[in-house]
């Protein structure tokens, strides 16, 4: 029963029982994902200019032909299926302790999909606010990335991540970025057609493909530059 419930919360599609059991055990033992990058962080010898903290949208960046900002001192700290609450748990380890100049926070799609249980926009907002306040208290400039759109091009995605909820959260993120003196990074507008992600930019309706990441990269660099200039 636990595995069935967890499979629904985790991703919304059927997976082998062994895979679900491993994922369930991993979440129970390390809910915040602190072991994912712990050893890599300990081996760093220089401060990164920027840390990208996020979920699968961030983690998969660089897994294809579109490299993750070659030649740049940027670190990828994405973990698949994570929510803003989990990122907040590892914020000190994966961001503050690394002493970057900028953090790019990319979260929300899994909160909207209730991957770890129901989450209201108010609760999501509190997590974004907490991460932003922690960063600023430690002299780190903040870039708040929009939630990326989804499409039903390959499988049904919009029933768990409705366009209306994505647009609503992005509206809040944009307003809070202005209010808090952060930079809003609008991936959504670059990837969307109507209210859905353009099929040419995604591998599965959720995660960007090489073309999608190539579209996102200059926007991220521009946002980092804007944050550094503040």
CATH among 1.10.579.10, 3.40.50.1110, 3.30.450.20, 3.40.50.10320 for 45-229: 3.40.50.1110
Beta strands in 79-180 (DSSP E): 102-106, 141-145
Residue-level pLDDT at 23: 63
User: What DSSP designation does 197 have?
Assistant: E
Spatial neighbors of 27 by CB under 8 A, at least 6 apart, are 6
| Count of C-beta atoms within a 10 Å radius of residue 10 | 20
Query: What pTM did the predictor assign?
Result: 0.89
Over its C-alpha atoms, the chain yields an Rg (Å, rounded) of: 17
The tens-digit pLDDT sequence of the chain (230 residues) is 343 334 334 444 344 555 667 666 777 788 899 999 999 999 999 999 999 999 999 999 999 999 999 999 999 999 999 999 999 999 999 999 999 999 999 999 999 999 999 999 999 999 999 999 999 999 999 999 999 999 999 999 999 999 999 999 999 999 999 999 999 999 999 999 999 999 999 999 999 999 999 999 999 999 999 999 98
- Which one, of 157, 149, 84, lies nearest residue 121 by Cα? 84
Helix (H) or strand (E) holding 185: strand 183-185
192 phi-psi bin (left φ>0, alpha ψ -120 to 50, beta other): beta
3-state secondary structure of 53: strand
Q: Which pair of structure tokens corresponds to residue 102?
A: 């900028």
């Amino acid at each position: 029963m636990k595995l069935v419930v967890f499979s629904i919360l985790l991703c919304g599609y059927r997976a082998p029982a062994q895979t679900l059991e491993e994922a369930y055990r991993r979440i129970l033992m390390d809910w915040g994902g602190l072991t994912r990058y712990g050893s890599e962080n300990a081996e760093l010898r220089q401060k990164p200019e920027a840390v990208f903290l996020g979920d699968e949208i961030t983690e998969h960046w660089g897994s294809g032909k579109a490299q993750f900002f070659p030649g740049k001192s940027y670190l990828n700290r994405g973990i698949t299926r994570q929510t803003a609450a989990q990122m907040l748990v590892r914020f000190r380890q994966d961001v503050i302790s690394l002493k970057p100049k900028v953090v790019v926070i990319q979260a929300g799609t899994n909160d909207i999909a209730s991957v770890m249980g129901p989450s209201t926009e108010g609760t999501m907002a509190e997590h974004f606010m907490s991460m932003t306040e922690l960063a600023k208290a430690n002299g780190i400039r903040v870039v708040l990335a929009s939630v990326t759109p989804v499409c039903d091009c390959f499988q049904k995605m919009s029933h768990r991540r409705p366009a209306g909820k994505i647009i609503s959260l992005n509206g809040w993120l944009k307003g809070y970025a202005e209010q808090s003196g952060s930079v809003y990074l609008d991936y959504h507008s670059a990837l969307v057609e109507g209210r859905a992600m353009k099929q040419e930019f995604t591998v599965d309706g959720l995660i960007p493909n090489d073309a999608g990441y190539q579209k996102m990269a200059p926007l991220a660099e521009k946002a980092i530059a804007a944050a550094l200039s503040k």
